[in-house]
């Protein structure tokens, strides 16, 4: 897996999992730290795992059992994206099949200017 160093922002390739003493090969920052963890909320700067012990320094290496390395976005499973697109498409097609477009004006609104110009040219 590939993780991104919070310190130097460089990508680090990890073969198995991030060890307790894993350091960034570029800048020697601790990679087993709160800020490198998926459970870490970067906005509120707090751990989202209530069971985890609070670390005094979120950038320091820790021995937290709940640590899950935050992988770079490109390694996210592609399936989730596709499912979302499919669900959205299904939603759209469902709507068009339930007879929502009963009048010409509604159809014009739905399909945008293409239809609008067609109708105004005639009228």
* Least spacing, CB of residue 31 vs Zn ion, in Å: 8
The smaller minimum CB distance to Zn ion, of residues 8 and 14, is found at 8
* Least spacing, CB of residue 32 vs Zn ion, in Å: 13
Residues interacting with Zn ion, by CB under 5 A?
Answer: 5, 7-8, 24, 26-27, 29
The smaller minimum CB distance to Zn ion, of residues 25 and 105, is found at 25
DSSP string, the chain: -EEE-TTT--EEE-SS---TT-B-TTT--BSSBGGGBTTEETTTTEES-TTSPPPS-TTSB---TT--B-B-GGGS-HHHHHHHHHHHHHHHHHHHHTT---SHHHHHHHHTHHHHHHHHHH-
The smaller minimum CB distance to Zn ion, of residues 29 and 64, is found at 29
* Least spacing, CB of residue 28 vs Zn ion, in Å: 7
């Amino acid at each position: 897996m590939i993780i991104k160093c919070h310190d130097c922002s460089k990508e680090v390739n990890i073969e198995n999992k991030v060890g307790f003493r894993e350091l960034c090969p570029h800048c020697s920052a601790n990679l087993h730290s709160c800020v490198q963890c998926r459970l870490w909320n970067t906005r509120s700067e707090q751990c989202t795992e209530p069971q985890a012990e609070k670390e005094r320094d979120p950038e320091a290496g820790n021995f937290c059992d709940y640590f899950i390395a935050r992988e770079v976005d490109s390694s996210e499973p592609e399936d989730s994206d596709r499912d979302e697109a499919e669900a959205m498409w299904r939603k759209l097609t469902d709507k068009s099949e339930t007879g929502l477009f009963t009048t010409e004006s509604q159809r014009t609104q739905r399909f945008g200017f293409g239809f609008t110009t067609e109708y105004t040219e005639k009228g």
